[in-house]
């Protein structure tokens, strides 16, 4: 039997589960899209894999998941306990004294761990790392037993200043492990050895909160895969856009919080780069949400932390993604003030839009697109339903939106699309214009099931230069799973003064961090070409609270790191100058944190594998015409089989391009050309 070489990316979203399978030897690929089953994700998972061939012959599966995100958003994590230093059990409750609503006295916050499940023990680690009082193992064991008796399924241990010296925490962990019945326990120095009590506590606690959920989920999937005789390796995409082993995912589930969306950004960035557009805004429109992210010079933007919901802060490097609740399933309503709202409430895939005829009677964005002729009722995307009920969609729009606003159904449907477009445009402005980037320098990469339906409106609304519609927009996140590198990030607070820096010691520290990160990447078990290490120092002038992230131009080589004293200072001054246009001479400089990433570069995925076959012609791709509603009137739009369109051809709007995983709409004043990789470049007509 030949060695299996097929890698499958599986992105389980709220509405659809998407598949992209790639055979690394034969360069063949396949895609699939099936409905997601909330709570029984393994079903869609295996259903879709089954359509791609024998599961037993797959080399590996890389999974983008929202199971962690959903558990956080819906507060459906485990019952957990926290053991902390005496006097500090309310760190997680006080947060940073931020408020849910700036004005007024309303807005409650309940931490994911109740106060009576936060137990304090005697110990004291000072900020210098000195141990003032040691851990009493018997006290910790007693606390762990109490928490178990109260029903805790996972345990977090967070001691004050443990980033400076983990010994008390590790002693407590050892004591707790001796009485804890499962593997769901960890301490902050293992999860985030970084200064700042609240962020460290929150991240460690949320990790514990997710551990039983994500662990059970992955175990269930692994078991289902094993039953289908899958013998390959199984991986998970992290929020930083890198891949990790399922073993690491079970240990650090908090790093899966933006797993699926991150995979989409990775793919969109790679596609745009290959198409010659290094500066893009990725725009993923799924069934429930719209996710945007900025790619500059081909690089995704990483943020140091994110707030999943009010007070739920996760500090770990992650791709900066802005999400709003607008998707194909977003429900359109007229609110009490008489204003038309679209989302955030979504009909998801079940019951789904009205046109799915599965019991939902409230009109959605997809229903509006259907009524406007933009979606083909006979060829819906995904395999949820065989055809769409146009009349039901129109009736729902008339009833819920048309009548309350005094609009006819067509105008009401157009209004729904316009409100949704305005919300999406707002999200794009937030990451571009409001951060000082000129949108004219950026192109959009619309993807997800619905992104390409709205691309034209978005580039016109926001003033973007073009839209690059990937060849398979509906399975972009799944493609991202296949091409993403393996990555492991670490952080360690150092608190060193630059003036009396012992460079040899710092270099040794960096090497040790890099070797540890490297080991995680090597253990992941996916084929890689090489491993790179990336070092960054968080630095500031003494007295400042915020830091700048200073990249160091050095790598781990033969187990050591070359570091010159001047390298650190000049790197800091360069970064500081770029951010603030000045330096502060005479003020001492401090190194706060060391950030280390090991990146295992996967064999380069040549997107030419997706390019259209030579020998097709635009005439063969033509499927006739259909009435499509634009700007208050029906227009006759050309219909094309998108995948049959040859490279190099250009079409003018109005046109609708159909393919199994998505629909692309070309507005009357736009033109689209197919590039050599099969992407569609949509621009304003000259």
CA angle 234, 240, 246 (to 5 degrees): 20
Between residues 116 and 529, which has the closer beta carbon with respect to another protein?
116
Could you tell me how many helices (H) and strands (E) the chain has, helices first? 18, 35
- Which two structure tokens, joined as six digits, stand for 501? 């820096």
- Which two structure tokens, joined as six digits, stand for 473? 């927009």
Give the footprint of another protein on this chain (CB under 8 A): 114-116
CA distance 335 to 342: 10
CA distance 356 to 652: 31
Between residues 116 and 361, which has the closer beta carbon with respect to another protein?
116
Q: How far is the CB of 115 from another protein (least distance, A)?
A: 4
- Nearest 5°: phi and psi at 244? -135, 165
Q: How far is the CB of 352 from another protein (least distance, A)?
A: 39
- Which two structure tokens, joined as six digits, stand for 83? 């053991």
Q: How far is the CB of 114 from another protein (least distance, A)?
A: 6
Between residues 81 and 327, which has the closer beta carbon with respect to another protein?
81
| CA nearest neighbour of 311 among 93, 114, 156 | 93
Between residues 113 and 455, which has the closer beta carbon with respect to another protein?
113
Between residues 93 and 669, which has the closer beta carbon with respect to another protein?
93
CA distance 217 to 590: 43
Between residues 88 and 324, which has the closer beta carbon with respect to another protein?
88
Between residues 117 and 443, which has the closer beta carbon with respect to another protein?
117
- Nearest 5°: phi and psi at 322? -100, 125
Contact 683, 466 (CB under 8 A): yes
CA distance 303 to 240: 9
| CA nearest neighbour of 394 among 359, 424, 361 | 361
Between residues 94 and 503, which has the closer beta carbon with respect to another protein?
94
Between residues 75 and 115, which has the closer beta carbon with respect to another protein?
115
Query: Following DSSP, what letter does each residue of 637-664 receive, concatenated?
Result: EEEEEGGGPPTT-EEESSEEEEETTEEE
Contact 70, 40 (CB under 8 A): no
- Which two structure tokens, joined as six digits, stand for 324? 């709003």
Q: Which residues contact 447 (CB under 8 A, 6 or more apart)?
A: 264, 267, 268, 282, 283, 284, 285, 469, 470, 473, 474, 476, 477, 662
| CA nearest neighbour of 80 among 146, 176, 156, 139 | 156
- Helix, strand and coil content of the chain, in percent to the nearest 5, comes to 35, 30, 35
Q: How far is the CB of 116 from another protein (least distance, A)?
A: 5
Question: Rounded to the nearest 10 degrees, how much is the dihedral formed by the CA atoms of 240, 244, 248, 254?
Answer: 30
Q: At what angle do helices 137-149 and 167-177 cross, to 10 degrees?
A: 50
Task: Give the residue carrying structure tokens 């429109």.
Answer: 285
Between residues 100 and 115, which has the closer beta carbon with respect to another protein?
115
| CA nearest neighbour of 485 among 300, 288, 254 | 300
Contact 555, 513 (CB under 8 A): no
Q: How far is the CB of 118 from another protein (least distance, A)?
A: 9
CA distance 444 to 272: 9
Q: How far is the CB of 146 from another protein (least distance, A)?
A: 13
Whole-Å CA distances, 269 to 27, 294, 380: 21, 9, 27
Q: How far is the CB of 533 from another protein (least distance, A)?
A: 45
CA distance 135 to 113: 23
Q: How far is the CB of 93 from another protein (least distance, A)?
A: 10
Q: How far is the CB of 85 from another protein (least distance, A)?
A: 17
Between residues 115 and 145, which has the closer beta carbon with respect to another protein?
115
Q: How far is the CB of 515 from another protein (least distance, A)?
A: 44
Between residues 83 and 285, which has the closer beta carbon with respect to another protein?
83
Q: How far is the CB of 83 from another protein (least distance, A)?
A: 16
- Which two structure tokens, joined as six digits, stand for 167? 């010994």
Look at the chain and count its residues. 686
Q: Which residues contact 114 (CB under 8 A, 6 or more apart)?
A: none
Between residues 111 and 166, which has the closer beta carbon with respect to another protein?
111
Between residues 114 and 683, which has the closer beta carbon with respect to another protein?
114
Q: How far is the CB of 150 from another protein (least distance, A)?
A: 10
């Amino acid at each position: 039997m030949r060695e299996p070489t097929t890698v499958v990316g599986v992105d389980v979203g709220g509405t659809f589960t998407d598949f992209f399978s790639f055979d690394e030897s034969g360069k063949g690929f396949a895609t699939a899209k099936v409905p997601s089953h909330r709570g029984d994700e393994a079903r869609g998972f295996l259903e879709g894999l089954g359509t791609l061939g024998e599961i037993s012959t797959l080399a590996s599966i890389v999974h983008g998941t929202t199971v962690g995100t959903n558990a956080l958003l819906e507060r459906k994590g485990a019952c957990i306990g926290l053991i902390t230093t005496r006097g500090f059990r309310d760190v997680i409750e006080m947060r940073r004294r931020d408020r849910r609503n700036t004005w007024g006295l309303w807005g409650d916050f309940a931490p994911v761990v109740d106060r009576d499940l936060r137990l304090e023990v005697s110990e004291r680690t000072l900020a210098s790392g000195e141990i003032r009082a040691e851990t009493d193992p018997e006290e910790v064991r007693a606390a762990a037993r109490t928490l178990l008796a109260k029903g805790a399924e996972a345990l977090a241990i967070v001691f004050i200043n443990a980033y400076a010296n983990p010994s008390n925490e590790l002693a407590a962990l050892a004591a707790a492990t001796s009485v804890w019945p499962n593997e769901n326990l960890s301490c902050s120095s293992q999860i985030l050895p970084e200064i700042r009590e609240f962020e460290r506590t929150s991240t460690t606690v949320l990790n514990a909160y997710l551990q039983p959920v994500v662990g059970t989920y992955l175990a269930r999937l692994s078991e289902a895969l094993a039953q289908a005789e899958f013998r390959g390796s199984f991986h998970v995409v992290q929020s930083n856009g890198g891949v990790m082993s399922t073993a690491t995912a079970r240990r650090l589930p908090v790093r899966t919080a933006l797993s699926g969306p991150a995979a989409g950004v990775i793919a969109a960035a790679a596609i745009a780069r290959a198409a010659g557009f290094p500066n893009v805004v990725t725009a993923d429109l799924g069934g429930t949400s719209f996710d945007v992210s900025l790619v500059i010079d081909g690089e995704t933007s990483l943020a140091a932390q994110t707030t999943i919901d009010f007070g739920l802060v996760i500090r770990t490097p992650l791709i900066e993604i802005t999400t709003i609740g607008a998707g194909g399933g977003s429900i359109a309503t007229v609110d009490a003030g008489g204003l038309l709202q679209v989302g955030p409430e979504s009909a998801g895939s079940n019951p789904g839009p009205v046109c799915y005829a599965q019991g939902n009677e409230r009109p959605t964005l997809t229903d509006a697109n259907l009524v406007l002729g933009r979606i083909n009722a006979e060829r819906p995307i995904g395999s949820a339903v065989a055809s769409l009920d146009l009349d039901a969609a129109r009736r729902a729009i008339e009833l819920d939106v048309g009548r309350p606003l005094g609009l006819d159904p067509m105008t009401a449907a157009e209004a729904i699309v316009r409100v949704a477009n305005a919300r999406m445009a707002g999200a794009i402005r937030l990451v571009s214009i409001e951060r000082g980037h000129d949108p004219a320098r950026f192109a959009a990469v619309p993807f997800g099931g619905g992104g390409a339906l709205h691309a034209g409106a978005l580039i016109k609304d926001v003033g973007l230069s073009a839209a690059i519609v990937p060849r398979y927009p509906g399975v972009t996140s799944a493609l991202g799973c296949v091409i993403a590198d393996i990555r492991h990030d670490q952080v360690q607070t150092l608190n060193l003064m630059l003036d009396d820096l012992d460079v040899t010691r710092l270099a040794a520290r960096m090497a040790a961090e890099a070797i540890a990160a490297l080991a995680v990447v090597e253990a992941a078990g996916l084929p890689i070409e090489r491993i790179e290490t990336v070092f960054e120092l968080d630095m500031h002038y003494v007295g400042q609270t915020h830091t700048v992230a200073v990249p160091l131009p050095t790598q781990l080589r033969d187990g050591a790191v070359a570091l010159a004293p001047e390298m650190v200072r000049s790197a800091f001054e360069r970064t500081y100058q770029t951010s603030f246009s000045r330096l502060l001479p005479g003020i001492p400089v401090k190194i706060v944190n060391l950030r280390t990433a090991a990146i295992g570069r996967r064999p380069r995925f040549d997107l030419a594998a997706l390019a259209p076959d030579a020998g097709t012609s635009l005439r063969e791709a033509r499927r006739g015409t259909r009435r499509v509603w634009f700007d208050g009137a029906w227009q006759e739009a050309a219909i094309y089989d998108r995948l049959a369109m040859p490279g190099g051809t250009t079409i003018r709007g109005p046109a609708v391009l159909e393919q199994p995983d998505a629909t692309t709409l070309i507005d009357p004043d736009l033109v689209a050309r197919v590039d050599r990789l099969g992407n569609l470049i949509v621009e304003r007509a000259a």
